[in-house]
A and B are shown apart, each in its own frame.
Chain A
Amino acid sequence: MNINDQTVFEDEKELKGWLVVLSGEWQGRDYRLFPGKTILGSSHYAHIYLPETGIEPFHFSIRFENEEVWLTDLDSDAGLFIDEKKIHREKIVDETLFKAADVEFLIKIL
């Protein structure tokens, strides 16, 4: 899913933010985030498909719920890190930087 793929949001979906890829082959890309759970992984079945080395088929999820944003590691081997600290499930805020495998991401909340 790339920007502009979806022209007008569906009625039930309200844009909540973006996931920005800061390193790796897909550096510079951004992906929209909607309410509920968004899974990123190297599987085609993940909501955000990112075929990077080290990224697992279902690596982590971002959940927008009750005005809160939660980042959850989906039991990946490479892990999920915020400020070099491995996390399992963490509440995040606007412009949080985190790392999955060797890929850096940033969350931008609308």
Chain B
Amino acid sequence: MEICANCFKKSLPASPFCAYCGYPKIDIGLKRCGKGHIIYETYKNCPFCHHLENLGKTLVNQPAGENTGGTRTEILNVATNIMNPHNMDQQTKEITKPGPIDDKTVFETGTGDKTVCESDTHDKTVLEGETDDKTRVETLTGYLDKTVMEDEADKTILDEGTGEPLPPFFAWLVYVDEAGKPLQDIRLTRQKTVIGKSADADIRLNDPFASNLHAVIHFEGGKFFISDLGSRNNTWLNEKKIMNEELQDGDKIRVGHQNIIFKRVRRNL
């Protein structure tokens, strides 16, 4: 058993993150910039503040007394910035993410719920040269294809089944932190939007607790629905486990450890 340097709770050694607070337990090469942002060791300057000083301090594998803290959000921001084309020249081309992960690692949380951490190759090595073929837009936890999304914002969306044009709709997914502060928004411009860890998902999550194809949001008959795609850790809507539910404006979705708010224009346009 290992003890988390952040919350001091015991958890399974195979996991790269603490099952309770999400803090990284093993050496994944993180450090802090002079202003305190958590970034990868390979960065020469901080992507958040471009601070150049005091970059040699490694965060993890340090005694608990020297722990400088850090939130899960900051760590996710680090993961996101790996794919940020603005940082590509400032870092090595290939960055290895959290070390050895078992194929299926089961965590038992304090409430008795079991969550399963799936690993796949997408998470271990991040996207060397992926920005070459398409202009991709990174989100907090993944990326969208910018070209496609911009084009689709102006187009009439056709029903995938009938081919008839769908009524115009405006809907967004807003990623929020634990305190509910919005971190990023994504406009839904397709009839079906798949959320998951896989590169095949429309919205990619950098979350070990998300499945490759975790959930899908689809628009049908003027309503939005969310369906779980057989994910291991389930899809949660307003803190209830769901399989297929209609989405209402302001609903709170949880996929893996990501909190998402669904917003839509309710008027008929």
Contacts and interface: CB of A to CB of B under 8 A. Distances in A.
Contact residues on B (Cβ < 8 Å of other chain), bracket: 20 to 34
B130 to A, nearest CB: 16
Contacts of A108: 170, 172, 263, 265
Interface centre among A8, A20, A27 (most CB of B within 10 A): A8
Interface string A40-65: 00000000000000000000000000
Contacts, number: 67
Contact of B170 (A2, A4, A30): A30
Interface of A: 2-4, 7-9, 14-15, 18, 20, 22, 27-30, 32, 95, 97, 106, 108, 110
Interface in B48-90: 77, 80, 84
Contacts of B269: 22, 106
A106 B169 CA distance: 12
Interface of B: 77, 80, 84, 137-140, 144, 146, 149-150, 153-155, 168, 170, 172, 174, 181-187, 261, 263, 265-267, 269
A7 B267 contact: no
Contacts of B170: 18, 20, 30, 106, 108
B266 A7 contact: no
Given A7-B137, A9-B183, 20 more contacts: A2-B150, A2-B153, A4-B146, A7-B138, A8-B80, A9-B184, A15-B185, A18-B172, A18-B185, A22-B269, A28-B153, A29-B153, A30-B170, A95-B265, A106-B170, A106-B269, A108-B172, A108-B263, A108-B265, A110-B174
